[in-house]
Amino acid sequence: MFTRTSPSTGKGSPEVTGFYDPDTGSIMYVATDPATRKAALIDVVLDFDPAHGRTRTDSAQEVLDFVKAQGLTVEWVLDTHPHADHMMASAWLKEQTGAPAAIGAKTRDIAKLWADFYNLPDAFAADRDFDRLFEDGETFRLGSLDVQVMLSPGHTLGSITYVMGDAAFVHDTFMHVDSGTSRADFPGGTSKDLYASLMAILALPDDTRLFVGHDYPPVGDRKDPAWEATVAEHKAHNKHLGGGISEEAYCKLRDDRDATLALPDRMLHALQVNLRGGRLPPAESDGRSYFKIPANLF
């Protein structure tokens, strides 16, 4: 797996290691407080083979192997939103580490939306399947670091950003500077909300390191995945926002682009796992779990 570490810049600044998952273009993160060696695992992937309906924990285990090799203690298992393009490994990671699993409080609203799409009115209960549901503006601690939660809707209605000193985990808002921004056409998402979230993130200090959720190389002449750039770099060079763009112009650009995109091939499987905190649907009488896929809905 392709990995890269962004070192701490000093007191109050986390060390951040990203792990690239080529199957989904996702970046999984280990954020570490250098002072205490406490770590948070962010947006870690549960591997899934759609052709065979098969899950694996290879990628999540690789992250845990890194944690062990570095002598870290996992204090949090964090997700930024219920992902549409990959399954989250949060429930399995909680079992392995004992660390609490957390996500944004508006996951409750996303769960209601998708319970209707799946016709599963009692399937999802965020308060049951996550240990913490963070509200906008809430703070918590990672070791000696203060972490602030920012509500960042647009991609979904309940996406959140984690800000740790000079590092912000901005999930599916920004892409890397040469790719632009993320889509906003999933249920509950809007380009108008996404633009507001992007502007709020760009209001962070210019030297804030932004760590994005996805990359899909090759991009231009760049062959390797990339996921880190500063606020200042995005302000100046982001493909969709660099140099400044009006809300109206951005929304047209984003909506026109989104109209050409297919649904992720894991989406209809992933949401019914992620809205259970990374758990498969309950086993039926034969001991097997089954996915429920709505026909002709999207």
What pLDDT was estimated at residue 139? 98
Query: Quick one: pLDDT at residue 73?
Result: 98
Question: Distance between CA atoms of 24 and 166, rounded to whole angstroms?
Answer: 27
List, in order of start, the domains of the chain with CATH numbers. 2-262 (3.60.15.10)
**pLDDT for the residue numbered 197:** 98
Distance between CA 244 and CA 238 in Å, rounded? 9
User: What is residue 201's predicted lDDT score, i.e. its pLDDT?
Assistant: 98
What pLDDT shows up at residue 243?
Answer: 84
Q: What whole-number distance in Å separates Cα of residue 104 and Cα of residue 82? A: 9
> Going edge to edge, which strands form the sheet with 45-49?
54-56, 45-49, 87-88
Identify the pLDDT of residue 110. Answer: 97
> What pLDDT score was predicted for residue 242?
84
Residues of the chain with pLDDT under 50: none
pLDDT value, residue 189: 94
Q: Residue 145: in which H helix or E strand, if any?
A: strand 145-151
Query: Which pLDDT value is given to residue 35?
Result: 97
| pTM of the full structure | 0.96
So what's the pLDDT on residue 1? 83
Name which of 218, 293, 271, 268 is nearest 110 in CA terms: 271
Residue type present at position 165: G
> For 23-70, how does the pLDDT look when each residue is reduced to its tens digit (9 = 90+)?
999 999 999 999 999 999 999 999 999 999 999 999 999 999 999 999
Task: Determine contact, residues 261/183, Cβ cutoff 8 Å.
Answer: yes
